[in-house]
């Protein structure tokens, strides 16, 4: 049952060219930017390395995570609600948990395949060790766990996929740029961004960004340990799942 739900979700996402392109393009555009920077700044390899590891790669991964685990799932769920699919589903023997779990497997597979391609593309431009490659994959999946329930909360608020799509733009800006911009400007002004991380701790992207920078040797110490990050992200996932259950079913 779960396999069939995951398969159906994947087929729908892959066949919907607009959504697929929209999901992948923002992440891949920074790979192109990285290539152009690498070619243009051939005499400044350290600058290029810093630019890609500090900005382009994190933004690519954040975009990908956001589009697959949050915006893609939100739009899909909002449409399920709008076109009355639940009127059919509630008469079948599938439980809501099984259905969303199957869908989650679909999101997980699509996101990980795309993640592998993106990381491979970056690995051609910059050095990413094999252990770092897998740790980054693992970190992304923990962030996915925190974001996936959020999509149910948002889908519970928005009436249909189109409204969700337009409302997700400011959500995207909030989640991504609240992390990348302060980090960049604080670094430029000679301050340690980690001193201000407490104010951004509501955002799961913060943990991704910090762990990512550590794995790519941009910073020497993480704000918190891997274990703490994992616990926080799982806690996010748990609390948001409870909220999602209330919001979306309503």
Partner 1 sequence: MLQIENLVKRYDTNTVLDEVSATFEEGKCYLLLGANGAGKSTLAKCIAGDEGYESGSIQWHNSSTNVSDIVALQYQFFNSYPHLKVREVIQLFQRLIVNAYDINELYTLLDVSSFEQTLIKNISGGQQKTLSIILAFLLNKKIIILDEPFATLDLQRKKVFAEFIKNQIHQDRLFIIISHEIAGFEDLFDSILILHNGKITEQGTMNDLRKKYKETTFPGIEGIYFEVTGQVLGGYKK
Site for partner 1 in 51-90 (CB under 8 A): 80, 83-85, 87-90
Question: How far apart are alpha carbons 216 and 58 in whole angstroms?
Answer: 10
Question: How far apart are alpha carbons 93 and 134 in whole angstroms?
Answer: 38
Question: Which of 93, 170, 188, 227 touches partner 1 (CB under 8 A)?
Answer: 93
Tell me if 41 contacts partner 1 by CB under 8 A: no
Q: Which is nearer to partner 1, 8 or 192 (CB)?
A: 8
Q: Which is nearer to partner 1, 78 or 205 (CB)?
A: 78
Site residue total, partner 1 (CB under 8 A): 21
For the purposes of burial, counting CB atoms within 10 Å of the CB of 90, is it exposed (0-12), middle (13-18) or buried (19 or more)?
exposed
Q: Which is nearer to partner 1, 161 or 204 (CB)?
A: 161
Tokens 């993640």 sit at which residue? 115
Q: Which is nearer to partner 1, 94 or 230 (CB)?
A: 94
Tell me if 110 contacts partner 1 by CB under 8 A: no
Measured N-to-C along each axis, helices 161-188 and 204-215 cross at an angle, to the nearest 10 degrees, of: 50
Residue 90 CA: distances (Å) to CA of 50, 80, 101, 192, 243? 52, 12, 16, 52, 21
Helices (H), the chain: 2-15, 17-40, 45-51, 57-65, 73-82, 85-89, 96-125, 130-157, 161-188, 204-215, 226-249
Tell me if 250 contacts partner 1 by CB under 8 A: no
Report the nearest approach of partner 1 to the CB of residue 248 (Å). 17
Q: Which is nearer to partner 1, 17 or 220 (CB)?
A: 17
Site for partner 1 in 123-182 (CB under 8 A): none
Tell me if 249 contacts partner 1 by CB under 8 A: no
Tell me if 15 contacts partner 1 by CB under 8 A: yes
Tell me if 8 contacts partner 1 by CB under 8 A: yes
Q: Which is nearer to partner 1, 94 or 157 (CB)?
A: 94
Handedness of CA 25, 27, 32, 37 (dihedral sign): positive
Question: How far apart are alpha carbons 42 and 48 in whole angstroms?
Answer: 8
Q: CB–CB of 65/151 below 8 Å?
A: no
Q: Which is nearer to partner 1, 16 or 132 (CB)?
A: 16
Report the nearest approach of partner 1 to the CB of residue 66 (Å). 22
Residues forming the site for partner 1 (CB under 8 A): 1, 4-5, 8, 11-13, 15-16, 80, 83-85, 87-94
């Amino acid at each position: 049952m779960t396999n069939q739900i995951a398969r159906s979700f994947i087929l729908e996402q892959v066949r919907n060219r607009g959504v697929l392109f929209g999901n992948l393009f923002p992440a891949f555009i920074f790979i192109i930017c990285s290539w152009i920077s690498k070619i243009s700044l051939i005499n400044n390899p350290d600058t290029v390395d810093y630019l890609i590891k500090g900005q382009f790669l994190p933004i690519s991964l954040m975009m990908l995570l956001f589009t697959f685990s949050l915006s893609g799932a939100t739009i899909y769920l909002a449409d399920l609600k709008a076109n009355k699919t639940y009127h059919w589903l509630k008469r079948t023997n599938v439980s809501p948990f099984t259905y969303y779990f199957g869908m989650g497997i679909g999101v997980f597979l699509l996101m990980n395949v795309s993640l592998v391609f993106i990381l491979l593309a970056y690995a051609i431009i910059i050095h990413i060790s094999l252990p770092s490659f897998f740790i980054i994959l693992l970190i992304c999946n923990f962030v996915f766990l925190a974001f996936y329930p959020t999509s149910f909360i948002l889908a519970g608020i928005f009436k249909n996929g189109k409204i969700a799509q337009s409302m997700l733009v400011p959500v995207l800006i909030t989640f991504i740029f609240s992390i990348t911009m302060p980090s960049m400007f604080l670094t430029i002004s000679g301050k340690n961004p980690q001193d201000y991380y407490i104010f951004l701790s509501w955002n799961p992207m913060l943990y991704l960004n910090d762990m990512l920078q550590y794995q790519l040797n941009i910073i020497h110490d993480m704000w918190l340990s891997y274990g703490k990050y994992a616990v926080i992200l799982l806690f996010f996932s748990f609390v948001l799942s409870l909220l999602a259950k209330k919001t979306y079913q309503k």
